[in-house]
Amino acid sequence: MPFPFDDLRTFLDECEQEGMLVKVKKEVDWDLEAGAIARRLAEMGRGKAMAEGGSSSVLFEKVKDYPKGFRLAAQIVGGIDRAAMAYGYDYKGKHSSVIRAELADIAMKGLRKLIKPVLVDAKDAPCKQNKMIGDEVDLYKFPVPMIHDGDGGRYIATWAFIATKDPDSDWVNWGVYRAMLHDKKTAGGLLEYFQDIGRHYQKYEAKNQPMPFAIVIGSDPLSFSMGASPVPIGMSEMDVVGGMRGKPLPVVKCETNDLPVPAGAEIVIEGVVPPRKRVIEGPYGEYTGYRAAERARRPIYRVTAVTYRDDPILTFQSTGTYLTDFGSNFTTAAMAVETLRRVGIQARCNLLPETGYTMMVVAVKNPSPNIATMVKNTLTSQMGAMSVWTYKFIIVNDDIDIYDPGEVLWAISTRVHPRRGIIVSDEMMGPLTAFASLEERQKRNAPHATFDGTWPLDWDPITAVPTVACFKALYPQELQDKVLQSWKGYGFK
* Residues ≥6 apart with Cβ < 8 Å to 37: 24, 28, 58, 60, 74, 318
Least confident of 51-65, 189-203, 342-356: 51-65
- Alpha-carbon gap, residue 444 to 278, rounded angstroms: 19
Report which of 458, 480, 348 is spatially closest to residue 407, judged by C-alpha positions.
348
Report which of 16, 95, 88 is spatially closest to residue 58, judged by C-alpha positions.
16
Contact in structure between 7 and 264 (CB atoms under 8 Å): yes
Q: What is the mean pLDDT of residues 100-104?
A: 88
- Alpha-carbon gap, residue 125 to 252, rounded angstroms: 7
- Alpha-carbon gap, residue 180 to 154, rounded angstroms: 6
Contact in structure between 183 and 315 (CB atoms under 8 Å): no
pLDDT band of residue 100 (cuts 50, 70, 90) is confident
* Residues ≥6 apart with Cβ < 8 Å to 293: 190, 282, 283, 284, 286, 431, 432, 441
pLDDT of residue 161: 97
Least confident of 308-317, 335-344, 349-358: 349-358
Residue range(s) in the chain whose domain bears CATH number 2.30.110.10: 1-328
* Residues ≥6 apart with Cβ < 8 Å to 349: 104, 333, 334, 336, 337, 340, 360, 361, 362, 363, 402
Q: Phi-psi bin for 482: left (phi > 0), alpha (psi -120 to 50), beta?
A: alpha
DSSP conformation class of 77: T
Whole-number average pLDDT of the chain: 90
pLDDT band of residue 372 (cuts 50, 70, 90) is very high
**N-terminal to C-terminal alpha carbon distance within the chain:** 27
Rg (CA), the chain: 23
pTM: 0.87
State how beta strands 57-60 and 71-74 pair. Answer: antiparallel
pLDDT of residue 442: 77
- Alpha-carbon gap, residue 226 to 260, rounded angstroms: 15
Which segment, 90-104, 225-239, 296-310, is predicted with the most confidence on average?
Answer: 296-310
Q: How many CB atoms lie within 10 A of CB 209?
A: 13
* Residues ≥6 apart with Cβ < 8 Å to 348: 101, 104, 337, 362, 363, 365, 398, 402
- Alpha-carbon gap, residue 220 to 313, rounded angstroms: 12
- In sequence order, what DSSP letters do the residues of 428-471 get, joined into one string? E--TT-TTS-HHHHHHTEEEEEEEEESPPTTS-TTTTSPPP-SH
Contact in structure between 292 and 319 (CB atoms under 8 Å): no
Residue range(s) in the chain whose domain bears CATH number 3.40.1670.10: 343-474
Query: H or E stretch including 69?
Result: none
Contact in structure between 179 and 215 (CB atoms under 8 Å): yes
pLDDT band of residue 448 (cuts 50, 70, 90) is confident
Residues, the chain: 493
- Residue type, position 99, single letter: I
Least confident of 180-194, 306-320, 383-397, 398-412: 383-397
Report which of 382, 107, 434 is spatially closest to residue 240, judged by C-alpha positions.
107
Per-position b or e across 398-430, b if 16+ CB within 10 A of its CB: eebbbbbbebbebbbeebbeeeebebeeebbbb
Report which of 297, 348, 271, 275 is spatially closest to residue 107, judged by C-alpha positions.
348
Work out the burial of residue 68: count CB atoms within 10 Å of its CB; fewer than 13 is exposed, 13-18 middle, 19 or more buried.
exposed
Output phi, psi for 355, to 5 deg. Answer: -100, 10
pLDDT band of residue 438 (cuts 50, 70, 90) is confident
pLDDT band of residue 290 (cuts 50, 70, 90) is confident
252/2: higher pLDDT: 252
Least confident of 121-135, 155-169, 357-371, 383-397: 383-397
- In sequence order, what DSSP letters do the residues of 179-214 get, joined into one string? EEEEETTEEE----TTSHHHHHHHHHHHTT-PEEEE
Least confident of 123-127, 214-218, 319-323, 340-344: 319-323
State how beta strands 211-217 and 267-273 pair. Answer: antiparallel
pLDDT band of residue 17 (cuts 50, 70, 90) is very high
Contact in structure between 327 and 228 (CB atoms under 8 Å): yes
Work out the burial of residue 484: count CB atoms within 10 Å of its CB; fewer than 13 is exposed, 13-18 middle, 19 or more buried.
exposed
- Answer CATH for 343-474 from 3.40.50.300, 3.40.1670.10, 3.30.750.210, 3.90.950.20: 3.40.1670.10
- Alpha-carbon gap, residue 193 to 175, rounded angstroms: 13
DSSP conformation class of 232: P
By percentage, how much of the chain surpasses pLDDT 70? 96
Per residue in 338-349, pLDDT tens? 899 999 999 999
Fold of 1-328: Pnp Oxidase; Chain A (2.30.110)
pLDDT band of residue 51 (cuts 50, 70, 90) is very low
Q: How many CB atoms lie within 10 A of CB 272?
A: 18
Which segment, 5-19, 51-65, 226-240, 277-291, is predicted with the most confidence on average?
Answer: 5-19
